């Protein structure tokens, strides 16, 4: 079987405000999603879809793409989502699902589902590469969202990304000289991004807020030392806390932490970023957080 790989992502700046066009800095992760594929001229017009999670099969589905029917599956809800996405692939592609060829498509998500590293965006990227279609359009009609995660998956690179007034992004080499001092902590749960964005949408945003976060992102990219980076992360977190009316993650879980702590992505779950301090691993484990990664463990 042939293989396509897309990395996951971590959003370092402009969470929430990204949907209104604020400039985002996002980095790729070493773990991502694989797509394996074979095609056969057996005239069956059949898709055999298998989805693995860390090499364990969790979804098995057979789809008739001539009549668009799910013939058999072990998970009707998940198969229904894949069914919708593959119909969108057919609409966008000039070659896939156009004849009687049969397809065996197998995905493998390499990271735990609650890590929030981009199970959907990596899927969109992989399918788009396989079908030679635009991943942003596939993502837009299948899922929605700002699309920054698709850019990271597609480019396999850190990106600076903005979606308004039109989608503009560029790849960058974001490897700060203090990266070995940075630490990522998983909060033991997955936050619902759509729910978080809905709460953000309930607040009255402004051009000033969007511009402030774009400026913060540019400062983060140019940052040369850990002290400045820590200050920028703290400003970022507090400004968004004030806007959302939600306590910062440091106030909620890590009040007496001697380093900055900033949420990455939707607040309340997924990852946070901080910096090393004496005996930091033991400190976080005592708080109940044992999924601790340094930069080179996690970042692509």
pLDDT in tens, 12-59: 999 989 989 999 999 999 999 999 999 999 889 999 999 999 999 999
Report residue 76's pLDDT band, with 50, 70 and 90 as the boundaries: very high
Q: How far is CA 81 from each of CA 75, 87, 132, 214, rounded to the nearest angstrom?
A: 10, 10, 21, 34
Please tell me the predicted confidence (pLDDT) of residue 4. 98
Question: Residue 164: which pLDDT band, with cuts at 50, 70 and 90?
Answer: confident
Question: What CA–CA distances, in Å, run from 130 to 33, 38, 86, 124, 300?
Answer: 13, 11, 12, 10, 22
Place of tokens 């990852």: 271
CB-based burial of residue 269 (10 Å sphere; 0-12 exposed, 13-18 middle, 19+ buried)? buried
Contact by Cβ (8 Å): 132, 94: yes
Span 154-173, mean pLDDT?
96
pLDDT at residue 212, as a whole number: 96
Please give the Cα distance from 212 to 186 (Å, whole number). 27
pLDDT of residue 174: 97
Record the pTM. 0.93
Q: How confident is the model at residue 194 (pLDDT cuts 50, 70, 90)?
A: low
- Banded pLDDT at 196 (limits 50, 70, 90): low
- The predicted-structure confidence for 227-280, as pLDDT tens digits, reads as follows 999 999 999 999 999 999 999 999 999 999 999 999 998 786 689 999 999 999
Phi-psi group of 54: left, alpha or beta (phi > 0 → left; psi -120 to 50 → alpha; rest → beta): left
pLDDT value of position 191: 60
Domains, the chain: 2-172 (3.30.230.10), 179-298 (3.30.70.890)
How is residue 68 written in tokens? 């668009």
Percentage of residues of the chain with pLDDT beyond 90? 84
Task: Enter the tokens of residue 23.
Answer: 């400039």
- Name the packing angle between helices 226-244 and 207-222 (round to 10°): 160
Neighbour count for residue 54 (Cβ, 10 Å): 12
């Amino acid at each position: 079987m042939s293989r396509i790989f897309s990395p996951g992502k971590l959003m370092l700046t402009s969470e929430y405000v990204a949907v209104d066009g604020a400039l985002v800095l996002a980095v790729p992760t070493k773990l991502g999603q694989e797509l394996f594929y074979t095609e056969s001229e057996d005239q069956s017009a059949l898709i055999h879809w298998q989805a693995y999670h860390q090499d364990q099969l969790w979804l098995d589905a057979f789809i008739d793409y001539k009549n668009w029917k799910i013939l058999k599956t072990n998970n009707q809800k998940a198969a229904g989502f894949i069914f919708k996405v593959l119909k969108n692939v057919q609409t966008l592609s000039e070659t896939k699902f156009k004849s009687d060829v049969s397809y065996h498509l197998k995905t493998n998500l390499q990271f735990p589902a609650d890590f929030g590293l981009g199970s959907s965006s990596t899927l969109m990227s992989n399918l788009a590469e396989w079908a030679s279609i635009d991943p942003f359009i596939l993502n837009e009609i299948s899922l929605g969202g700002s699309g920054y995660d698709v850019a990271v998956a597609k480019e396999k690179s850190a990106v600076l990304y903005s979606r308004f007034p039109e989608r503009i992004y560029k790849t960058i080499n974001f490897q700060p000289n203090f990266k070995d001092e940075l630490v990522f902590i998983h909060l033991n749960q997955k936050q619902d991004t759509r729910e978080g964005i809905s709460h953000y949408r309930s607040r009255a945003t402004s051009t000033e807020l969007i511009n402030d976060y774009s400026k913060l992102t540019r400062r983060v990219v140019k940052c040369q030392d850990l002290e400045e980076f820590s200050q920028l992360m703290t400003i970022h977190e507090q400004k968004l806390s004030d806007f959302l009316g939600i306590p910062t993650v440091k106030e909620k879980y890590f009040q007496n932490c001697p380093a900055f702590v900033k949420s990455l992505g939707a607040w309340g779950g997924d990852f946070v970023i901080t910096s090393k301090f004496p005996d930091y691993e033991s400190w976080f484990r005592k708080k109940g957080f044992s999924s601790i990664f340094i930069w080179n463990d996690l970042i692509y």
